[in-house]
Amino acid sequence: MKKILLIATGGTIASRKTGDGLAPSLTPQELLDRVPGVRDFCRVDTVQAMNLDSTNIAPEDWLTLGGIIEANYPAYDGFVLCHGTDTMAYTAAALSYLIQNTDKPIVLTGSQKPIDQEDTDARTNLTDSLRFATQGPSGVCIVFEGHVIAGTRAHKIRSKSYNAFSSINFPDLANLRDGRVVRYIPCPAPEGPPRFFHRLSRRVMLLKLIPGMPAEAFAAAGQLCDGLIIESYGVGGIPDVYLDQLDRLVRAGKTVIMATQVRQEGSDLSVYQVGHRLKERYGLLETYDMTLEATVTKLMWVLGQSRDPEVIHRLFLGPVNFDLLF
């Protein structure tokens, strides 16, 4: 029987009602007690990493979670992290970069209603996640409402419904049906031992373009970051009025990455003049079909490893856990 480590971080799944609304308070053992049937197919140990509403999750917490998995990696066959849904996609993406070449499943799950409620989705999600951790292929993923989504491809698309997550620009890795794992995407076997990373840069900013935004927003964002993600329109481009500010950012050595506000199908700066000139004039990186969550956390990881432009370019465009297919 396989041995799984259940890591609790808080979130809705572990919440109880208070006078101020739901707040996480259940321990991981209390979560496990609500799904007694899992003892039939796995042995589970628990650890309380933190007890937060996921709105409060920060990069330091991702490093903490990565450290817990690294310290316990030899002793377990798989890992399940209970997490709030609001930033789960960010955490799944971050762990995809912090833990690479893993030969064990690392599964994130949570729920839209607390596990103590009668009509909750929590018990099914937790049971499915533990089952996938015993049967599924290696790598970081989210298991939610029967869907298995690569850790770099998840995006929360609904705030209340049980089918809260979707896999963006990539198929589900698998589904869980009646206690069985139905796989769709083969996961390549890892080459060599797992690699654990211990540095992330917090100096990453996102600037979302809106019509009429003052040009000074670029300068303000640039003062706060080493890496700036510009979320543009359509397949990507920069309005003429902002080019002087972009010039200053590039000359100041900032890493600038072009993304798109359109969720499906990704960016392509080569299509229109407003994007093509960015490639020709500045050699800017773009996100192609990456999710915003993967873009943010990957840039944090990249800048945590190097500030050399050539290394940044190579690492950012190197595919990790299905994050980039261009």
Q: Which amino acids are annotated catalytic? A: 12
H-run or E-run covering 143: strand 139-144
Q: What CA–CA distances, in Å, run from 263 to 94, 199, 207, 277, 321?
A: 19, 28, 16, 23, 19
Question: What residues contact residue 4 under an 8 Å CB cut-off, 6+ apart?
Answer: 42, 43, 44, 45, 76, 77, 78, 79, 80, 130, 133, 134
Which two structure tokens, joined as six digits, stand for 139? Answer: 């790598």
For residue 100, the SS3 value is strand
Residue whose C-alpha is closest to residue 7's, from 37, 23, 27: 27
Q: Helix (H, G, I), strand (E, B), or coil: what is residue 317?
A: coil
Q: Give me the half-sphere count of Cα atoms (radius 13 Å) on the Cβ side of residue 115.
A: 28
